[in-house]
Amino acid sequence: MIYEERDAEIRRAWMEECWAAVGGRSVLDLERQTQVPVNLLHAYTSHGERPEPRHVVLLAQATQGAHWSPWAHRVLRLLNYSEIHLMLALKEAYQPPGPVKS
């Protein structure tokens, strides 16, 4: 039950982040910009499916302009991806997490 609630929380957070990033763009425009197939974009934005890390990066680059990297980092961590997934998806733009503040 706890895992289901956590998964639902992650899906809701992703939906909010994704819709804010998409900001009224059409799915076809996003497909052209990101090269992510329309059916996947639809599943990610309408059904709350967890996107692939590289698709998060492509969406960030297409929607966030020059400041795409911090958004991609934040969203990938929000989606509970491990640091290795972030490193592979973000490549040179990867930034390790900051020190834990108490």
Q: In terms of C-beta distances under 8 Å and separation of at least 24 residues, what long-range contacts does 54-62 make, across chains too?
A: 54/89, 56/89, 57/89, 57/90, 58/34, 59/18, 59/21, 59/22, 59/30, 59/34, 60/21, 61/34, 62/30, 62/33, 62/34
pLDDT digits (tens, 9 = 90+) for 61-73: 999 999 999 999 9
pLDDT digits (tens, 9 = 90+) for 82-100: 999 999 999 999 999 877 5
- pTM, two decimal places: 0.83
pLDDT digits (tens, 9 = 90+) for 1-40: 777 788 888 888 888 888 888 888 887 888 888 888 878 8
